[in-house]
Amino acid sequence: MSILEKILDAKRDELQEVRVPTGRVKKIDHVRSLNEALKNPDISVIAEIKMKSPSEGDILPNADPVQIAKDYESAGAAAISVLTDRQFFGGSLTILESVREAVSIPVLCKDFIIHEHQIMDLAQARADAYLLIAEALQKTKMVELYSYGIELGLEALVEFHDEENAKRIAEINSLIVGVNCRNLKTMTTDISYFEKMIAFLPDHAVKVAESGIYSSSDLNYVADLGYDAVLVGTSLMKTGKPGMALERLLGGVA
């Protein structure tokens, strides 16, 4: 069983008693547009707050997420991603809400979304956008979850890892599309994968390169390929001073 399958099994257990929302949903009026935030002449950075991960173990235990978020914003992040899965990543929606209150840029809820109820919860925590992972969802469910977010006024970053999912991502017509270069079987990253996948991404979409970014040269590499943004987390958090690490990363952009 892969780590993704273990995480999804845990999510299903968490959601066993949850009922699908019914009736008309009320549109959220607090949203900061992630799509607009990533439309800059230079490559944008979604800086991530991640306390631990299945591949890395503890990354920065006892960190102050709010201070990290403030430091990220000061360093030039276009948006902030918060891992909200508790069991595998040490996060929570409470952390996301605190981060959202502390900054003025969009905040992305990064979790393993498989149910509309999760989108309701992250909306109540004042997330501006959320992640959908192609490998975690059947096509019909992915469309349902994407559409439900639109009803609420939220935006979704729709990502894929495996090449076979690139086509169905394009069919959703998402405004923000991500390629994650982490192999879900080995958990290793390979940034050359971004070059292979760029041709599969819709022309109209904001294109995000996720995982495997460690240096300014990596950032320049994906920018030259045609990506609009990167999502960076582990490499920043592992330094112990994520805000300073982001400042250095952006300082070397050509």
Torsion angle, CA of 128/119/177/137, rounded to 10 degrees? 170
Active-site residue 48, yes or no?
yes
* Catalytic residue, candidates 73, 97, 155, 159: 159
**Residues 159-178 pLDDT 10s:** 999 888 988 887 888 899 99
Torsion angle, CA of 144/148/149/152, rounded to 10 degrees? 170
How do the domains of the chain map onto residue ranges?
A: 28-251
CATH superfamily of 28-251: Aldolase class I (3.20.20.70)
* Catalytic residue, candidates 81, 165, 211, 235: 211
> How far, in Å, CA of 192 to CA of 27, rounded?
40
CB 122 within 8 A of CB 130: yes
Active-site residue 17, yes or no?
no
Active-site residue 144, yes or no?
no
Global confidence as pTM: 0.94
Active-site residue 211, yes or no?
yes
Active-site residue 159, yes or no?
yes
> How far, in Å, CA of 116 to CA of 15, rounded?
10
* Catalytic residue, candidates 44, 48, 116, 174: 48
**Residues 40-79 pLDDT 10s:** 889 999 999 999 988 888 999 889 999 999 999 999 999 9
Q: What are phi and psi for residue 81, nearest 5 degrees?
A: -105, 135
Active-site residue 110, yes or no?
yes
**Residues 69-96 pLDDT 10s:** 999 999 999 999 999 999 999 999 999 9
Which residues make Cβ contacts (< 8 Å) with residue 5, sequence separation at least 6?
A: none
Find the DSSP H helices in 103-205.
116-124, 139-152, 166-172, 192-197
